[in-house]
Structure 1
Amino acid sequence: MFLENLGIDALDPQRLGRFWEAALGTTTLTDAPDIFETRLSIDGDAYLDLCFARVPARNVAPQRLHLDLRGGAAQEQIAQKLRELGASDLDIGQGEVPWIVLADPEGGAFCVMEEREAYVGTGPIAALPLDSADPARDAEFWAWLSGWTPAPGVAPRTLRHPSGRGPLLELCPEPAPKQPGAKNPIHLDVRLEPEDDPDAVAAGISARGGEEFFPDWGELPWRVFRDPSGNELCLLPAVGAGA
């Protein structure tokens, strides 16, 4: 199994997806009325897809996962390009910080980061900060589930694709516990390999502090879980097994 997707709620999947595609230089996979998918290459055959799925109303739940874009020496130029694409400046109470906080065209917060040594080789997405009630515990959970491995970083625990390329998954202390019933606007999806037993993986998730749940999202070809901190994730079937 491997970390395959960022699942992102969108009122207009094409508008939001094309904004991020232009921002990141990714490649379109799917352009359908209710979903837009675009691929970020990491290393060789490795990739991370951004999947924008239509929702009936804007998800205003706190963002427990967001995108930090690599800025570095070009931080101001990159931020200005993003504004021209449709982003806007956003004040979330960050105060004086070295990064720039912006909102995408649907109001989702993201950051354009300053130069950091840990971001060498990340590509356009520097990091994916994920709120965690226990970063050490959740890093072990996500390392087992995603195949990503511990890496240097500024968060209490950081994971990265085993190639040493691509964005960092940062397990960050949560400012508040996950709100019951509030779906994360952005979540992670894991793809099973043909040799993976879905029930065994589900049991492994439970043994490591996660849980399966059954939201009222209609009939789905995948299974939905929460990590030990309550963050939603989807377990996608292996390709050729109903994907």
Structure 2
Amino acid sequence: MALRPVQVNIKARDAAAIGRFWAEALGWSAYSPGMTTYVGPAGGLVWPDPVALGIDVVPVPDGKTATKNRTHLDLATTSAAHQAELVARLEALGAARVHVGQGGDVPWTVLADPEGNEFCVLEPREAHQDTGPIAVVVVDCVDPRAMARFWGEAIDWELCEVTDDHALLRSAEGGGPYLEFLRTPDVKTVPDRIHLDLLPYPGDDQAAEVARLRALGATDVDLGQGEVSWAVLADPEGHEFCVLAVPS
């Protein structure tokens, strides 16, 4: 049994507007299949087998309260000119430069979307040539090695690298973004504004997958979601994630 990451879930007060922002940022399209706004490559929703790790923007009544999100996206660029153009275009769309403790001479640019969700526009890197527009999903953590153990068992992505400072996972099929657990000094204080949604493969059982995750150290989380078709869990460091229902 295994689970596959299928989307990055972003909470927003104006889901449609934030969905449009991220569609423009990634060169993708925004779709509104219901209350949420899904952002993915052109061609419409391909569910339950999306062709890329998409973004699902979910409307919520409250704005961002944490000083810094513990999960953010790193965007890929292909050249210095592309990086500069992308930063300028995103600022024109409403992004703002922010300081989250990065040094003044880092080669990437830290921005926040119009609702304050931080992300980075990276300098060109060889490792990101085939990731698509999202190079990395970055999760702050205390212990990258422990996160690598849990997530290496939780999902069907392979562990590429692990040190005391960070751990990298990526789909065994190659292509697509990396998932990075990055050691940081700050601690989690509020529910995550951004998290991963995982989906069982056809024929697998959602309840069995949830039980397997609990055995690995996940815990159930009540965020006031009520009776829903997905299960809300947290990893051993408290990062929330969802296990979606197997499509019928």
Q: TM-score, normalised by structure 2?
A: 0.87
Could you tell me which amino acid in structure 2 is paired with residue 49 of structure 1? Answer: G
- Measured against aligned partners, the alpha-carbon deviations of 1:136-184 in whole angstroms (never above 9, x if no partner) come to 22123223222111225996210112221111100111322322xx110
Structure 1 counterpart of 2:69? 63
- Measured against aligned partners, the alpha-carbon deviations of 1:104-148 in whole angstroms (never above 9, x if no partner) come to 111111111112232221111111111122212212322322211
Structure 2 counterpart of 1:35? 36
Structure 1 counterpart of 2:53? 48
What secondary structure does 1:47 align onto?
coil
Cα distance in 1, alignment partners of residues 70 and 26 from structure 2: 21
Structure 2 counterpart of 1:157? 167
Tell me: CA distance 1:108–1:232, structure 2 relative to 1, closer, same or farther (3 Å). same
- Measured against aligned partners, the alpha-carbon deviations of 1:61-88 in whole angstroms (never above 9, x if no partner) come to 2411101111342211110111122212
Match status 1:86 vs 2:88? no
Structure 2 counterpart of 1:123? 132
Alpha-carbon shift at residue 237 of structure 1 (Å): 0.6
Structure 2 counterpart of 1:9? 11
What secondary structure does 1:183 align onto?
coil
Alpha-carbon shift at residue 40 of structure 1 (Å): 4.4
Cα distance in 1, alignment partners of residues 244 and 76 from structure 2: 29
Which deviates more, 213-222 or 125-134?
213-222
> RMSD value over aligned CA atoms?
2.1
Structure 2 counterpart of 1:22? 24
Structure 1 counterpart of 2:45? none
Q: TM-score, normalised by structure 1?
A: 0.88
What secondary structure does 1:224 align onto?
strand
Cα distance in 2, alignment partners of residues 145 and 30 from structure 1: 29
Q: Give ranges in structure 2 of 5+ residues lacking alignment.
A: 43-48
Structure 2 counterpart of 1:216? 224
Alpha-carbon shift at residue 4 of structure 1 (Å): 0.9
Match status 1:177 vs 2:148? no
Q: Number of paired residues?
A: 235
Could you tell me which amino acid in structure 1 is paired with residue 12 of structure 2? Answer: A
The within-5 A match list for 1:228-243 is 228-240=236-248
Tell me: CA distance 1:229–1:70, structure 2 relative to 1, closer, same or farther (3 Å). same
Structure 1 counterpart of 2:116? 107
Cα distance in 2, alignment partners of residues 14 and 136 from structure 1: 37
The within-5 A match list for 1:180-219 is 182-219=190-227
Tell me: CA distance 1:131–1:210, structure 2 relative to 1, closer, same or farther (3 Å). same
- Measured against aligned partners, the alpha-carbon deviations of 1:181-203 in whole angstroms (never above 9, x if no partner) come to x1101000101223222332222
Could you tell me which amino acid in structure 2 is paired with residue 106 of structure 1? Answer: E
Which deviates more, 63-72 or 193-202?
193-202
Contact 1:118 1:153 in 2 (8 A): no
Tell me: CA distance 1:119–1:153, structure 2 relative to 1, closer, same or farther (3 Å). farther
Tell me: CA distance 1:142–1:153, structure 2 relative to 1, closer, same or farther (3 Å). closer
Structure 2 counterpart of 1:134? 143
- Measured against aligned partners, the alpha-carbon deviations of 1:182-225 in whole angstroms (never above 9, x if no partner) come to 11010001012232223322222122221112221233221100
Tell me: CA distance 1:140–1:195, structure 2 relative to 1, closer, same or farther (3 Å). farther
Q: What percent identity do the matched residue pairs reach? A: 37
Tell me: CA distance 1:98–1:153, structure 2 relative to 1, closer, same or farther (3 Å). farther
